């Protein structure tokens, strides 16, 4: 399919329809979902793939009650975030802290014969190189950002990385950092005979960390049958276990990312960047560990989650996707730091809801009751048929597709008799 992208939309679509044997109904669906505003956002545009958006409620972040938009395809995630918010309610709720917001660009030198000499040259030209970086996109300075500092890392056998730390203002900063970093690389090439392999931002955003913390009386965690103190102790044990077993840590962190990814998507941000950075951070001690920590002290359950979150309040797709500005308004966030805090807070709430379910009734009771709706929809139930089909499925702990199909047929037959 050479030069496929040069073909007009209809020709591209018809070509795909022929080779994939799409039906008239399938083509109509593609046409129905087509959004003119999306056609130039990506390449080889075909249609717009929608995901459901909901809001997590019951969340108090830094003393403010908020409804946080979340975009996800997974049942029970938003219910769990709201449940977590309810469990972590206190006067201040979840508190958040962002110490700084710098993104790192790296210039990678290869086959360096004298790394020490290169390091000395780079560091003695720090002021000049930072100026070159700022000159590559001067409006960043007017936005309060700019190049802040340099670092050199010498890596075996003969690599050197020049790391540029850039305050990216209110943006996520990937394009900005790439522009500044490439400008610095060009300047270095002009003055120093060295092989530059590449210049690119790092998604390991260790200089853009956010911490969400909470402290709630253990009684708040109680279930119908288990005392709050016991639940809190078991949540702390689950958190300890995620520190020692990577098999569990990955699932523990997936639960946290259920919330984080859904907010990142709703806010028009780059979730691949967030995912890669967060999981690298989970491995920072040389092995993969749970990102959150929970502990009990004097009748209080404490929780803490620290993650790298290079999020943008402006730039990227934030102004292109029409729902993002509404979502920023719904979440009551006015800048990138608040967005980072809100997102981490949802991650912490998501985590406590999952852990509480896991160490008490098990995940399937709450999750599967909501998953049944998804199964009913997957076998073709309409929204009006959904309540009756899910009611029939409630008798099964883990209903199968065949059972869902049978339940739908039974509901349809019962409706015919009415
Ligand atoms: C599912 C619940 C919330 C049920 O929870 P419940 O205890 O049966 O329900 P409840 O009726 O007591 O409701 C508690 C709160 O949950 C919310 N809630 C309850 N139901 C709804 C609903 N239909 N729609 C919207 N919100 C709902 C709602 O906020 C409600 O408070 P209220 O507002 O009434 O004061 C609970 O069991 C739970 O939090 N479970 C965790 C579910 C979860 O984490 N799902 C993610 C998928 S599993 C996964 O991917 C990750 C995992 C689990 O593997 C991570 C890990 O292993 O760590
Ligand atoms: N590895 C990765 O993660 C990569 C990600 N990307 C993508 O890059 C995009 C994000 O890059 P990013 O540089 O943020 O986006 P943009 O390229 O959209 O740049 C942000 C722009 O926002 C404008 N702006 C307005 N107000 C402010 C402010 N207060 N602070 C900062 N900038 C402001 C600036 O333009 P002006 O100065 O003209 O006003 C700036 O150029 C995402 O789409 C991401 O997917 C791209 C490459 C790699």
| Minimum CA distance residue for ligand 1 atom 7 | 366
- CA dist 140 and 83 (Å) reads 40
Q: Is the CB of 340 under 6 A from ligand 2?
A: no
| Residues contacting 96, CB < 8 A, separation 6+ | 61, 62, 210, 211, 212, 213, 340, 341, 342, 344, 345
Domain limits, the chain? 4-38, 53-99+208-361, 102-202, 366-417
Q: Are 69 and 55 in contact (CB under 8 A)?
A: yes
| Minimum CA distance residue for ligand 2 atom 37 | 139
List the beta bridge partners of residue 202: 104
Probe residue for ligand 2, chosen from 168, 175, 205, 267 as the CB with the greatest number of ligand atoms within 8 Å: 175
| Minimum CA distance residue for ligand 1 atom 35 | 86
- CA dist 372 and 386 (Å) reads 9
What are φ and ψ of residue 60, in 5° steps?
Answer: -110, 120
Q: Is the CB of 363 under 6 A from ligand 1?
A: yes
Terminal Cα distance for the chain, rounded: 54
Cα(75) to centroid of ligand 1, in Å?
10
| Residues contacting 286, CB < 8 A, separation 6+ | none
- The interface predicted TM-score of the complex, written ipTM, equals 0.97
Q: Is the CB of 315 under 6 A from ligand 2?
A: yes
Cα(178) to centroid of ligand 2, in Å?
10
For ligand 2, what atom is nearest to the CA of residue 312? 14
Q: Is the CB of 357 under 6 A from ligand 1?
A: yes
List the beta bridge partners of residue 293: 304
Catalytic sites, residue numbers: 74, 254, 270, 367
Q: Is the CB of 372 under 6 A from ligand 1?
A: no
C-alpha separations of 211 from 111, 205, 267, 282, 301 in Å: 39, 14, 19, 14, 17
Q: Cis ω on the peptide bond leading into residue 157 (within 30° of 0)? A: yes
CATH number of this structure's domain 102-202, picked from the four choices 3.30.300.30, 3.30.300.130, 3.90.230.10, 3.30.70.420: 3.30.70.420
Give the CA diameter of the chain: 87
Return the exposure string of 38-53: e unless at least 16 CB atoms fall within 10 Å of the residue's CB, then b: beeeeeebebbeeeeb
Q: Is the CB of 175 under 6 A from ligand 2?
A: yes
- CA dist 342 and 366 (Å) reads 25
Q: Residue 128, SS3? A: helix
Task: Calculate the CA 18 to chain-centre distance.
Answer: 37
* CA nearest neighbour of 393 among 194, 378, 172: 378
Q: Is the CB of 72 under 6 A from ligand 1?
A: no
Computed on alpha carbons and rounded to an integer, the radius of gyration of the chain in Å comes to 25
- CA dist 124 and 119 (Å) reads 8
CATH assignment, 366-417: 1.10.8
What are φ and ψ of residue 93, in 5° steps?
Answer: 70, -140
| Minimum CA distance residue for ligand 2 atom 48 | 174
Question: How wide is the angle at C-alpha 357 spanned by C-alphas 351 and 360, nearest 5°?
Answer: 135
Q: Mean pLDDT, consecutive 10-residue segments, the chain of 418 residues?
A: 91 94 96 92 95 97 96 96 95 92 98 97 98 98 98 98 98 98 98 96 98 97 97 98 98 98 98 98 98 98 98 95 96 98 98 98 81 88 91 88 92 91
pLDDT for residue 396: 87
User: Do the domains spanning 102-202 and 366-417 agree at the CATH topology level?
Assistant: no
CATH assignment, 53-99+208-361: 3.90.770.10
Q: Is the CB of 104 under 6 A from ligand 2?
A: no
Question: How wide is the angle at C-alpha 288 spanned by C-alphas 283 and 290, nearest 5°?
Answer: 105
Probe residue for ligand 1, chosen from 83, 359, 364 as the CB with the greatest number of ligand atoms within 8 Å: 83
Cα(354) to centroid of ligand 1, in Å?
8
């Amino acid at each position: 399919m050479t030069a496929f992208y040069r073909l007009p939309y209809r020709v591209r679509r018809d070509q795909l329809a022929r080779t994939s044997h799409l039906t008239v109904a399938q083509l109509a669906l593609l046409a129905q979902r087509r959004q003119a505003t999306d056609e130039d956002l990506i390449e080889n545009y075909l249609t717009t793939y929608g995901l459901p958006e909901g809001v997590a409620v019951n969340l108090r972040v830094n003393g403010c009650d908020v409804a946080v938009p979340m975009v996800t395809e997974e049942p029970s995630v938003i219910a769990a975030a709201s449940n977590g918010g309810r469990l972590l309610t206190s006067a201040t709720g979840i508190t958040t802290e962002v110490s700084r917001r710098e993104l790192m660009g790296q210039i990678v030198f290869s086959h360096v014969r004298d790394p020490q000499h290169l390091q000395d040259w780079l560091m003695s030209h720090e002021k000049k190189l930072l100026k070159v970086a700022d000159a590559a996109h001067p409006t960043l300075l007017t936005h309060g950002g700019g190049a802040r500092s340099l670092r050199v890392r010498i890596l075996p056998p003969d690599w050197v990385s020049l790391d540029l730390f850039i305050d990216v203002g209110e943006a996520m900063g990937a394009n900005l950092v790439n522009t500044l970093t490439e400008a610095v690389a060009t300047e270095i090439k002009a003055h120093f005979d060295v092989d530059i392999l590449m210049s690119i931002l790092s998604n390991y955003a260790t200089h853009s960390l956010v911490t969400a913390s909470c402290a709630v009386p253990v009684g708040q965690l109680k279930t119908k049958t288990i005392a709050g103190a016991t639940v809190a102790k078991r949540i702390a044990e689950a958190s300890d276990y995620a520190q020692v077993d990577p098999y569990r840590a990955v699932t523990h962190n997936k639960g946290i990312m259920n919330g984080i990814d859904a907010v990142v998507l709703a806010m028009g941000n780059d979730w691949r960047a967030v995912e890669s950075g967060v999981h690298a951070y989970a491995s920072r001690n040389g092995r993969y560990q749970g990102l959150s920590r929970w502990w009990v002290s004097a009748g209080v359950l404490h929780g803490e989650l620290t993650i790298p979150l290079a999020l943008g309040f402006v730039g990227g797709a934030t102004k292109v996707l029409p729902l993002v500005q509404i979502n920023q308004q719904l979440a009551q966030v006015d800048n990138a730091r608040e967005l980072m805090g809100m997102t981490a807070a949802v991650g912490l709430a998501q985590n406590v809801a999952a852990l509480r379910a896991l160490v008490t009734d098990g995940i399937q009771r709450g999750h599967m009751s909501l998953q049944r709706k998804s199964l009913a929809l997957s076998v073709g139930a309409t929204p009006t048929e959904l309540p009756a089909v899910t009611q029939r499925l409630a008798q099964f702990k883990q209903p199968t597709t065949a059972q869902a199909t049978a339940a739908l047929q039974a509901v349809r037959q019962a409706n015919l008799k009415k």
